[in-house]
Amino acid sequence: MNNTIPTGWRSIAIGSLTTKIGSGITPRGGSKSYVTSGVKFIRSQNVHFYGFSLNNVAYISPKTHLSMAGSMVAENDVLLNITGASIGRCTYVPPGFGEANINQHVCILRPNDKIESRYLSYWLSSSFGQDAINIYQAGGNREGLNFQQIRSICIDVPPLPEQQEVATILSSVYNLIETTRTQINKLKDLKAGIMQELLTKGIGSMGVPHTEFKDSPVGRIPASWEIKKLEEVIDEIVDCEHKTVPYVGQSKYLVVRTTNVRNGELIYDEIKYTTKEGYEAWTKRATPSFGDVFFTREAPAGESCMVPRDLQICMGQRMVLLRPDSRVVLPEYFSLFLASEPAKLAIYELSIGTTVSRINIEDIKKIPCITPPLSEQESIFNAVESVQNSISSKQRKLDSLISVKKALMQDLLTGKVRVKIDEKEKESAVA
């Protein structure tokens, strides 16, 4: 970040921009004090850069909420995660959010009249805001941030009218990003529903649907289909190297880790890279190629995706490579099946471990695979692919919007690009 402050801007510590900095506590009784409905109890998993994720939000009673008056959330507060792997994740509380409280892993930053809530949140979520948090956090192992360190972080702030205009511009992009995410999630739900329907009822042949069904280890399926163990539908299963590949900043050699495999897709966020020598050493057992399937053994167990085309990629730890036997199962169908609910349930039942689930290679071989005739596998994949194409199109739009957001944040939050504000607003800000 440029150390030169734009004309009219000031460098101010967060402590001088807030009326409150403080975290909450866990209610007496811990999770046993949660209720089915009531006051939202915000934990670190609910706080994201794009806003709040409330799918798994906990609730506390109004009485418990009142007993924790010091950590009641107000509109326009900025909530910042201060412990664990999500240190630095933050968002602001929009109008109409309703009553809420926080636990000890989340910190309230209550802006004063010198700073716009959204501007503070966007600055903290920017690359330079995150750099400032990483410098000030306590300990080298992301142990946590204390309140004094948060107060000490300095922000370059323009006059309030300019802050508001910057926040409005960034909010419009954030809203587009959130709308696109919602569309993607709806398409994913549609895809999951189609997969469930086709993997239990099938498509049939020559336009004639299946009429006879049978019970199987993974539920009701058409009578003409087979259930085969995974080891019967693959040519090869290849374990990973049980050590960490050497990482480099960036190269053409990618490293897929368990965090990069989710819901049948390869996720490129935070993907790692290695050297040519590292790639060659970590692909001695097998070179992943299009049609192979990555499968996670742990953290979590059972996530999978097909290896994309034209990538030089090797496996990180806790991964295995599955090479389908195309005489029995099409790679595209096989990858689709492993991401389905019947497969996930079977994988869960074969997994071990309570805190962190994991699955051994011998148990991976036992996963029951729904195996229709090859022609019907192709029809099932084609039916799902049309929805997947829509998802991919929306994902490309989302990636583009995120790039635009990052560029705008870099320009607007540093003053590299200045926004125009009304002269009367300027005079008001000076006064």
Q: What is the reported pLDDT for 137?
A: 56
Is the Cβ–Cβ distance between 273 and 254 less than 8 Å? Answer: yes
pLDDT at res. 142:
52
pLDDT at residue 160, rounded to an integer:
96
Sign of the dihedral through C-alpha 71, 73, 78, 81: positive
Average of per-residue pLDDT values in the chain: 91
SS3 138: strand
Radius of gyration of the chain (CA): 26
Share of the chain above pLDDT 90, in %: 82
Contact 76, 108 (CB under 8 A): no
Q: For residue 371, give both structure tokens.
A: 């195996």
Amino acid at 359: I
If DSSP states are collapsed to H, E and C, what string results for 187-225?
HHHHHHHHHHHHHHHCCCECCECCCCEECCCCCCEECCC
Give the pLDDT confidence of 308-322 residue by residue, as tens digits. Answer: 999 999 999 999 999
- HSE of 71, CA atoms in CB hemisphere, 13 A: 25
The 10 Å Cβ neighbour count of residue 302 is 24
**What is the pLDDT confidence band of residue 139, given thresholds at 50, 70 and 90?**
very low
Partners of residue 72 on adjacent β-strands = 101
Q: Where are the alpha helices (DSSP H) in 244-330?
A: 276-282
pLDDT tier at 282, thresholds 50, 70, 90: very high
pLDDT at site 4: 81
Tokens representing 31 are: 């999770």
- Per-residue confidence at 20, pLDDT binned at 50, 70, 90? very high
Domains and CATH numbers, the chain: 12-157 (3.90.220.20), 226-371 (3.90.220.20)
Measuring CA to CA, which residue among 205, 203, 223, 82 is closest to residue 153? 82
Q: Model confidence over 107-129: pLDDT tens digits?
A: 999 999 999 999 999 999 999 99
Average pLDDT over residues 56-61: 94
The pTM is what? 0.76
Report CA-CA distances (Å) from 357 to 126, 242, 296, 365, 371: 34, 18, 11, 17, 26
How far is it, in rounded angstroms, from Cα 426 to Cα 161?
7
Q: For residue 303, which of 334, 261, 341, 340 has the smallest C-alpha distance?
A: 261
Q: Is the dihedral of CA 299, 304, 308, 311 positive or negative?
A: positive
More confident residue, 142 or 278: 278
pLDDT (0 to 100) of residue 420: 84
